[in-house]
Amino acid sequence: MALFVSGVVFVNCSPRIAATTTGAPKTEYPLAQLESGKAIWSGACTKCHKGYEPASHTAKQWERIVPRMAKKAKLDERQSADVLAYLISGAAG
Ligand code: HEC
């Protein structure tokens, strides 16, 4: 009887661990959104005062500040969301 070797081939056992980013959920925004947010921020958020850097406030603070400042800067909802994403992604905590 022919011996059919089972088709199991051990191909160099390279583990493919899904690169899940752990511990940094606040940075999980699409890169395009962060880039857009940064561009809007550097244009609209530096007019009346210095540009407050992302790390100057915590994510919690940004959530309160950005809607207030977005009104001053006359941003629409998407622009405001992009700026918030950018600021939170680099926030102090
Ligand atoms: C029309 C002028 C104007 C624009 C545009 C503007 N700001 Fe402001 N911002 C102010 C004024 C005036 C204050 C100080 C008084 C206050 O807090 O409301 C301030 C204060 C701040 C502070 C300090 C608040 C705190 O509580 O520490 C931050 C941070 C800030 N702005 C961020 C932003 C961001 C982000 C944007 C863009 C979305 C922006 N600002 C656009 C006028 C503006």
Q: Is 18 a domain residue?
A: no
Cβ–ligand 1 distance for 49 under 6 Å, the answer yes
Do the domain assignments include residue 57? yes
Q: In terms of residue numbers, what domain contains 68?
A: 28-46+53-89
Residue 69 identity (one-letter amino acid): M
Considering only CA atoms, which of 68, 69, 64, 76 is closest in space to residue 36? 76
Q: Would 3 be classed as within a structural domain?
A: no
> What distance in Å separates the CA atoms of residue 69 and residue 65, rounded to the nearest whole number?
6
Q: How many domains does the chain divide into?
A: 1
Residue 15 belongs to some domain of the structure: no
- The pick from 48, 50, 83, 87 for probing ligand 1's pocket by mutation, whose C-beta has the most ligand atoms within 8 angstroms, reads 48
Asked if residue 13 is part of any domain, the answer here is no
Measured from the CA of 68, which atom of ligand 1 is nearest?
A: 18
Express each pLDDT in 37-90 by its tens digit. Answer: 999 999 999 999 999 999 999 999 999 999 999 999 999 999 999 999 999 999
Report the pLDDT value the prediction gives residue 66, as an integer from 0 to 100.
98
On whether residue 19 sits in a domain, the answer given is no
Task: Say whether pLDDT at 19 is over 50.
Answer: no
- Asked whether residue 79 is assigned to any structural domain, the reply reads yes
